[in-house]
């Protein structure tokens, strides 16, 4: 049995309309990660850090890894192609691209449902391929002992759905509740994935830090 701690990256460039613009931490995102690093250092609950290969994931890993434990990247922990999928869903199924947090919350379930049940356009990763690669990354990480994995909300919510056998509608709800730098714990028991903690933010639960909690 191996415990793995998955962390969503810090707040990125909220309001961006493409991946290149979104893929960097805001000043608040860096502060969130530093506070989490202090908390994790005090608990001594990990030996190494693995992040996805996206800039916001790497920046988060570096900011929280204040005692400079071994850090490696694994592109299998990268986020789903939200912007590519959104534009495809808009063009092929008329799902409007969001222009506010409320419209984003309404759009995500539609995009995930179309992605899960329809053949995607050429060049876009299929849902089954996405699911397979993140589960493989988790298995490989577990083979080397306890680790902190820095990734994104689509990865975390998909793994939660796998562990709890959730359908797309419930998975969409999970997607929309994963806060920046939130902590999620999983255990691999043989080939079975178990969720033992979801959405903890102990580093931001102090009264003076409540306003630092973000979803977008």
Q: Is 87 a residue whose pLDDT tops 70?
A: yes
129 in a structural domain: yes
Under the banding of pLDDT at 50, 70 and 90, the label for residue 133 is very high
User: What pTM, to 2 d.p., does this model score?
Assistant: 0.94
Q: In the chain, pLDDT over 70 holds for what percent of residues?
A: 99
Per-residue b or e along 57-96, where b marks 16 or more CB atoms closer than 10 Å to that residue's CB: bbbbbbbbbeeeeebebbebbbbbbbbbbbbbbeeeeebe
174 in a structural domain: yes
CA distances from 126 to 20, 78, 154, 160, 176 (A): 21, 14, 13, 19, 21
User: What CATH number does residue 169 fall under?
Assistant: 3.40.50.1240
97 in a structural domain: no
**What pLDDT score was predicted for residue 59?**
97
3-state secondary structure at position 73: strand
120 in a structural domain: no
Mean of the per-residue pLDDT values of the chain: 92
**What pLDDT score was predicted for residue 45?**
64
57 in a structural domain: yes
Give yes or no for a contact between 124 and 84, defined as CB atoms under 8 angstroms apart.
yes
For the stretch 180-211, pLDDT in tens is 999 999 998 888 999 999 999 999 999 999 99
């Amino acid at each position: 049995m191996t415990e793995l701690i998955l962390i969503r990256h810090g707040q990125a460039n909220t309001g961006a309309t493409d991946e290149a613009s979104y893929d960097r931490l805001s000043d608040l995102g860096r502060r969130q990660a530093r506070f989490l690093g202090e908390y994790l250092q005090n608990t001594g609950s990990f030996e190494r850090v693995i992040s996805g290969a996206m800039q916001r994931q790497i920046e988060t890993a570096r900011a929280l890894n204040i005692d400079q434990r071994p850090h490696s990247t694994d592109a299998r922990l990268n986020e789903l192609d939200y912007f590519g999928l959104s534009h495809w869903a808009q063009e092929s199924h008329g799902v409007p691209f969001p222009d506010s947090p409320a419209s984003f919350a309404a759009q995500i379930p539609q995009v995930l449902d179309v992605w899960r049940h329809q053949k995607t356009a050429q060049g876009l990763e299929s849902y089954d391929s996405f699911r397979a690669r993140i589960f493989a990354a988790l298995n490989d990480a577990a083979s080397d002992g306890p680790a902190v994995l820095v990734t994104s909300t689509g990865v975390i919510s998909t793994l939660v759905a796998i562990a709890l056998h959730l359908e797309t509608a419930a998975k969409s709800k999970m997607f929309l509740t994963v806060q920046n730098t939130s902590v999620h714990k999983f255990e691999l028991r043989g080939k079975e994935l178990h969720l033992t903690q979801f959405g903890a933010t102990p580093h931001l639960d102090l009264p003076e830090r409540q306003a630092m909690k973000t979803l977008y």
